């Protein structure tokens, strides 16, 4: 599959990251000047690190070390590396991509930059510095202390239906009133914010930037604003809060890509409390120096987080009831864990091991892996979608980046035992390149995007399936056309369906060019007609959207 580089764009701020150990460049690698190395390092973090890793050991993308060697199960050795591939082959791969899923960069990087990157990755990777508790504390800021914050909601917004929207390339989040569709506030956050998560009480929004900056927004203020901030890592993607009774709003937890560790903060001030490294052995028994923290989810039924470690395939249940004597239960699943969501009972967490083409099912009651389900190529669920299938009973759904299907997995081991943790149906999707699927308990529809599909018309559209008859072709909505926005050079990728709190509307972002005014198109879920186009000069590169009520209660 060939898709565009936007998917890969990684933390800009990582480029500015200091490097403790200057690279020991391989003897037979192409030479580079200091200035070239600096430019290449920046491009690598912007475009490549998200998939290949900082140390280039590979994850969703291939290993990019100058030389690697591995012992196969039968004892034989396999070796390879960028030096072996050589300058010409590397330039071709970077420019045109590969059938294996590497994207083409010939439209993003110049010929000189492609030449530079091919040389850079034949040299030994730089090792970025660690990030200690003392360093983290230095970055911690409380803009509005707890005793200066309101004691009740000071605005008239229906907080249940507010949406926190990532404005990816401006480093901001827009808070949009779901009832009036007015932008309530645009707040400065970290670079290319990844996700927003809501505290158990629904008062606070936690927003994590790719540069590891965690921002805390207080929705009770007359105009909601950032009240505290801390840098949790140099590169990060995930955050959640403590949701169990008695611990509401008490802690926040954030996952680092680099350094590979998770940090626990005070929920109201973001004061750093604890850092836990995730380095260790993969499920294959090999030491990994860069096991990045992928999705984190808070249990509503226990004082526990499910923390998924990408490269090692280890899943941790972290009991936060006693931080000094932190209890971690770790169990093996499959490598390259990424994103996932609860089943409808919120007992099981289903997480994609994306480059292993599997979904791991975590049983948070029995505290063990319930199943590892084989799926089509590169499952990418977001949080997935739960509904009752007319034939197979309760199912959880994932789309795929690498296959043109939507996979339905049975989730009811009590009443539909034969279907539990099995792929009960694969719906034919409009193409590969899906990122997110979504439904709502009150809806009769399943929505699926395809923003990474190379066909412009598909990338700009969403597909809506009727749950009552999933064999029927979907209704296609061309969101870019429905927005009424003028044509631009950049494709306007329709991404991330998100329901309103009452489940009657679906909001879709148009992820457009870096500086283009874009929009969120709101559809009526019953009639599939456009209800509203939310646009504004400041609406630039909207991507993820998080409805407060649905995110707070894990409704999807």
Q: Are strands 204-208 and 213-218 parallel, antiparallel or unpaired?
A: antiparallel
3-state DSSP assignment of residue 72: coil
For residue 51 the two structure tokens come to 């998939």
Q: Which is nearer to ligand DHE, 299 or 419 (CB)?
A: 299
189 forms part of the interface with ligand DHE (CB under 6 A): no
User: Measured from the CB of residue 238, what is the shortest distance to ligand DHE in angstroms?
Assistant: 3
* Interaction of residue 543 with ligand DHE, rule CB under 6 A: yes
Rounded Cα–Cα distance for residues 17 and 34 (Å): 16
102 is catalytic: yes
User: Which residues face 368 on adjacent strands?
Assistant: 363
CB of 293 to ligand DHE, least distance (A): 8
Q: Of all residues in this chain, which one has the CB nearest to ligand DHE in the complex?
A: 50
**Nearest one of 465, 477, 461 to 529, comparing CA atoms:** 477
Q: At what angle do helices 111-120 and 34-43 cross, to 10 degrees?
A: 100
Give the nearer residue to ligand DHE in terms of CB position, either 66 or 255. 255
Pick the binder of ligand DHE from 190, 379, 382, 474 (CB under 6 A): 382
Question: For the chain, how many helices (H) and strands (E)?
Answer: 9, 37
**Cβ 480 to ligand DHE, closest distance in Å?**
16
- Measured in degrees and rounded to the nearest 5, phi and psi for residue 349 equal -110, 125
- From the list 32, 355, 435, 540, which residue makes contact with ligand DHE (rule: CB under 6 A)? 435
Nearest-angstrom CA–CA distance, 309 and 400: 20
Contact 228, 141 (CB under 8 A): yes
Active-site annotation holder among 194, 288, 338, 389: 338
The residue among 411 and 550 lying less far from ligand DHE, judged by its C-beta, is 550
Q: What gap in Å lies between CA 382 and CA 404, rounded to an integer?
A: 16
At 401, list the tokens: 């980046």
CA-CA-CA-CA torsion sign (448, 453, 455, 456)? positive
Q: Which stretch binds ligand DHE (CB under 6 A): 263-271, 290-298, 317-325, 530-538?
A: 290-298
In whole angstroms, how far apart are CA 76 and each of 62, 69, 163, 287? Answer: 20, 11, 54, 19
Of 413 and 497, CB closest to ligand DHE: 497
Residue numbers 477-516 binding ligand DHE by CB under 6 A? 496
List alpha helices for 16-110, DSSP H: 34-43, 49-52, 82-96
In the block, residue with structure tokens 């996979």: 407
Per annotation, catalytic residue among 14, 17, 117, 380: 380
Q: Does 462 bind ligand DHE (CB under 6 A)?
A: no
Q: Is 397 one of the binding residues for ligand DHE (CB under 6 A)?
A: no
Number of residues that bind ligand DHE (CB under 6 A): 22
Among 219, 296, 539, 548, binds ligand DHE (CB under 6 A): 296
Contact letters for ligand DHE, residues 6-35 (x by CB under 6 A): -xx-x-------------------------
Say whether residue 238 binds ligand DHE (CB under 6 A). Answer: yes
- Classify residue 532 by burial, with Cβ atoms within 10 Å: 0-12, 13-18, 19+: middle
Cβ atoms of 264 and 251 closer than 8 Å: yes
Nearer to ligand DHE, 166 or 170 (CB): 166
Options 14, 52, 117, 194, the catalytic residue? 52
> In the bound complex, what is the minimum distance in angstroms from residue 532's beta carbon to ligand DHE?
21
Q: Which is nearer to ligand DHE, 171 or 224 (CB)?
A: 171
Distance CA 237, CA 156 (A): 32
Q: Is 476 a catalytic residue?
A: no
Between residues 7 and 25, which has the closer beta carbon with respect to ligand DHE? 7
Is 48 part of the annotated catalytic residue set?
yes
**Which position among 37, 41, 383, 389 is part of the footprint of ligand DHE (CB under 6 A)?**
383
Residues contacting 22, CB < 8 A, separation 6+: 126
Catalytic residue among 48, 136, 265, 539: 48
Cα-based angle 8, 13, 18 (whole degrees, multiple of 5): 120
Interface residue with ligand DHE, options 544, 547, 548, 552 (CB under 6 A):
544
User: Within 161-180, which residues bind ligand DHE (CB under 6 A)?
Assistant: 166, 168
Instruction: Decide if residue 213 touches ligand DHE (CB under 6 A).
Output: no
Q: Which two tokens stand for residue 295?
A: 């999705």
- Beta strands (DSSP E) in 429-553 are 437-438, 445-449, 461-466, 475-478, 493-499, 505-511, 517-524, 530-540, 542-547
**Catalytic position from the list 51, 117, 136, 539:** 51
Residues 305-364 binding ligand DHE (CB under 6 A) are 338-339
| Closest by Cα among 467, 369, 355 to 402 | 355
398 binds ligand DHE (CB under 6 A): no
Q: Which stretch binds ligand DHE (CB under 6 A): 143-151, 192-200, 223-231, 406-414?
A: 192-200
Active site residue 288: no
Pairing of strands 327-332, 314-319: antiparallel
Q: Which two tokens stand for residue 75?
A: 């004892």
Interacting span for ligand DHE (CB under 6 A) from 2-10, 264-272, 278-286, 525-533 = 2-10
Report the interface residues with ligand DHE, using CB under 6 A: 7-8, 10, 50, 166, 168, 192, 194-195, 237-238, 294-296, 338-339, 382-383, 435, 496, 543-544
User: Which residues are known to be catalytic?
Assistant: 48, 51-52, 102, 338, 380
């Amino acid at each position: 599959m060939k898709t565009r580089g936007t998917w890969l764009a990684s933390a800009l701020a990582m480029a500015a990251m200091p490097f403790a150990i200057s690279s020991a460049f391989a003897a037979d690698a192409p030479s580079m000047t200091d200035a070239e190395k600096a430019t290449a390092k920046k491009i690598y973090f912007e475009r490549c690190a998200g998939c290949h890793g900082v140390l280039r050991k590979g994850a969703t993308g291939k290993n990019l070390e100058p030389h690697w060697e591995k012992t196969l199960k039968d004892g034989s050795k396999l070796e390879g590396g960028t030096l072996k591939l050589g300058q010409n082959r590397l330039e071709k791969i970077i420019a045109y991509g590969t059938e294996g899923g590497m994207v083409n960069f010939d439209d993003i990087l110049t010929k000189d930059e492609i030449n530079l990157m091919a040389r850079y990755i034949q040299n030994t990777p730089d090792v970025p510095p660690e990030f200690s508790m003392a360093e983290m504390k230095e970055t911690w800021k409380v803009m509005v202390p707890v005793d200066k914050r309101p004691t009740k909601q000071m605005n008239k917004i229906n907080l249940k239906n507010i949406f926190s929207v990532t404005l990816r390339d401006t480093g901001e989040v827009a808070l949009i009133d779901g009832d009036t569709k007015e932008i309530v506030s645009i707040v400065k956050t970290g670079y290319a914010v990844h996700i927003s998560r809501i505290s158990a009480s629904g008062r606070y929004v936690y927003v994590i930037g790719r540069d590891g900056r965690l921002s805390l927004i207080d929705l009770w203020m007359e105009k909601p604003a950032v009240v505290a901030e801390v840098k949790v890592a140099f590169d990060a993607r995930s955050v959640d809060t403590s949701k169990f009774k008695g611990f509401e709003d008490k802690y926040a937890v954030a996952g680092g890509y680099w350094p590979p560790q998770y940090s626990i903060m005070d929920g109201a001030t973001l004061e750093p409390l604890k850092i836990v490294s995730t380095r260790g052995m993969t499920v294959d028994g090999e030491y990994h120096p860069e096991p990045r923290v992928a999705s984190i989810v808070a249990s509503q039924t226990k004082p526990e987080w499910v923390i998924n470690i990408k490269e090692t395939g280890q899943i941790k249940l972290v009991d936060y009831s006693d931080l000094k004597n932190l209890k971690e239960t770790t169990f093996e699943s499959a490598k390259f864990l990424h994103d996932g969501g609860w089943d409808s009972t919120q007992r099981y967490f289903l997480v994609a091991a994306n480059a292993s083409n599997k979904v791991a099912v975590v049983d948070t009651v029995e505290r063990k892996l319930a199943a590892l389900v084989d799926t089509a190529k590169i499952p990418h669920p977001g949080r997935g979608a739960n509904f009752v299938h007319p034939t197979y009973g309760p199912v959880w759904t994932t789309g795929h980046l690498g296959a043109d299907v939507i996979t339905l997995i049975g989730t009811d081991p009590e009443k539909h035992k034969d279907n539990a943790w099995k792929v009960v149906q694969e719906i034919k999707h409009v193409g590969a390149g899906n990122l997110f699927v979504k439904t709502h308990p009150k809806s009769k529809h399943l929505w699926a995007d395809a923003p990474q599909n190379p066909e412009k018309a598909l990338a700009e559209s969403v597909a809506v399936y009727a749950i009552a008859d999933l064999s029927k072709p979907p209704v296609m909505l061309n969101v870019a056309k429905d927005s009424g926005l003028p044509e631009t050079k950049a494709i306007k990728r329709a991404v991330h369906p998100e329901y309103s709190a009452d489940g009657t509307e679906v909001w879709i972002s148009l992820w457009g060019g870096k500086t283009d005014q874009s929009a969120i198109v709101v559809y009526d879920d019953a009639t599939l007609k456009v209800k509203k186009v939310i646009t504004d000069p400041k609406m630039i590169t909207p991507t993820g959207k998080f409805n407060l009520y649905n995110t707070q209660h894990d409704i999807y």
